[in-house]
Amino acid sequence: MTNHTRRSFLSAVAAAAAIPATAAAAVCIIPSGMDTDPVFAAIERHKLANRHHGDACDTTDTMVETFGPVSPEAEEAHALQDEACTADLAALRVVLETVPATASGMVAYLDHIASPLGFEHSMADGEDFAALLATVRQFAERLPA
């Protein structure tokens, strides 16, 4: 692989990492009739951020295998992976703090949090659980008595 090709590849990876949240939101698919519940869009944005994080991890693995663990290519890939990880965790935090507006939204919220994208494979901490419980409480407070 030539330097030009490596640079082109890494530039493309960097460009993909720079997709702003607003652009990501534009490609979210919201189930029909659910467009009034903000939790569906938050879940879709998190799914997109998580896929991007997974892709960045795959790229890092490829760069390490191809150029070695201390190569400039691997170091740049690691930096992009870190950015993607931060975006993934931030998107999960948005889901945690988004109060569903409907019962179906609450079911989707709880399913997502319990899924591999939620807490199943993460290192959730006290702040995460506090946000989860605060969101559930706010939802419950909206229900008729």
Residue 119's pLDDT band (cuts 50, 70, 90):
confident
Residue 24's pLDDT band (cuts 50, 70, 90):
very low
**23 within some domain:** no
Asked if 56 contacts 77 with a C-beta cutoff of 8 angstroms, the reply is yes
**50 within some domain:** yes
pTM for the model: 0.73
**12 within some domain:** no
Which pLDDT tens digit goes with each residue over 66-76? 999 999 999 99
**27 within some domain:** no
Q: How far apart are the first and last CA of the chain?
A: 66
pLDDT (average), residues 3-28? 47
Q: What is the predicted pLDDT for the residue at 34?
A: 52
Rg of the chain over CA atoms, in angstroms? Answer: 18
What's 70's domain CATH number?
1.20.58
**31 within some domain:** no
Indicate the number of domains in the chain: 1
Q: What is the predicted pLDDT for the residue at 127?
A: 82
Q: Is the pLDDT of residue 22 over 70?
A: no
Q: What is the predicted pLDDT for the residue at 120?
A: 67
Asked if 141 contacts 133 with a C-beta cutoff of 8 angstroms, the reply is no
Backbone angles phi and psi of 27, in degrees to 5: -100, 5
**98 within some domain:** yes
What does pLDDT average to over the chain? 81
Alpha-carbon gap, residue 118 to 72, rounded angstroms: 33
Q: What is the predicted pLDDT for the residue at 87?
A: 96
| Percentage of the chain exceeding pLDDT 70 | 73
Q: What is the predicted pLDDT for the residue at 3?
A: 46
Domain span holding position 133: 36-142
